[in-house]
Amino acid sequence: MSQNLGSTRNSSQLVVAAIQQACSENKAASLATSEMLIREAAAGGAELIILQELHATQYFCQTEDTRIFDLAEPIPGPTSEKLSGLARELNVVIVGSVFERRMNGVYHNTAVVIETDGSIAGLYRKMHIPDDPGFYEKFYFTPGDAEFNDGRSGFSPIETSVGKLGVLVCWDQWYPEAARLMALAGAEILIYPTAIGWDITDTQDEQARQLEAWVTVQRGHAVANNLPVVAPNRVGTEPDPTGHSDGIQFWGNSFICGPQGEFLARADDSSECILSVTLDRHRTESIRRIWPYFRDRRIDAYGDILKRVRD
């Protein structure tokens, strides 16, 4: 299923697609679904295609199991090479997700950005790592480096032929600091590949509150930074391998919003689908002229933001 709001390739417009899918225990099957949806998105005119977090596997962080490290792979590696081949064949930029094995004992939750020629434009290694019931990510993932070897911040946009992409990952979406640092570094789009869902035993009211908070905080990043936001999430119920809980029901609701937080496309909570929209590259500039947040920032008064707690 595809929702396409039009596609015209020119310098002022960019067709962006966000893919929402369910994932299988079989890595090859999950990647085959990703490939099918990437091909459909490209056939619909997408120039930038964004996959959800850890789209090649089920969400394995519901439990702590050292055998799961066998799923990790280097970059370049099988998943990134498959995405590279698709990007090159289809002439699109792809944002994928890899459980990265960086070296013995160091693993990352990594977004990989593939250029239209199949080359790797850049990596973003998830910076904020949760450790909550059902989301035991600290067991598996080392946080991304705060600074690259060339001096760039860990929150640096990735330069591509379709623009500067401010790629963040899931838990990063709750932190306004991450979005603002990407914006200050020149990001033209904020991108949040995601794997988030409900505890099946939560009440409907609690589930509604959690979903609304997730949507609202990201729309807030769009408004506060005058940037479009793309947030693809997974769907489907995935069991807890230990049997200690009923598992996670991933809530979908992937969305794309504009730089005033306006919904451009939004998925439901259960369907595999493609959201495709045409973004106006000039809207950020025009909005910042009338809402000049960046001009009016009081950077001389924000020093305490660097403290863990303000005493």
Residues recognised as catalytic: 53, 126, 170
Distance CA 59, CA 196 (A): 9
Measured over the CA atoms of residue 138, residue 184, residue 216 and residue 218, the dihedral's sign is negative
In 66-143, which residue ranges form alpha helices assigned H by DSSP?
78-90
Residue with tokens 């850049």: 122
Using an 8 Å Cβ cutoff, are 193 and 52 in contact?
yes
Phi, psi (degrees; rounded to nearest 5) at 219: -60, -35
Collect all residues with Cβ–Cβ distance below 8 Å to 207 and sequence separation of at least 6: 198, 251
Distance CA 104, CA 74 (A): 11
Using an 8 Å Cβ cutoff, are 30 and 24 in contact?
yes
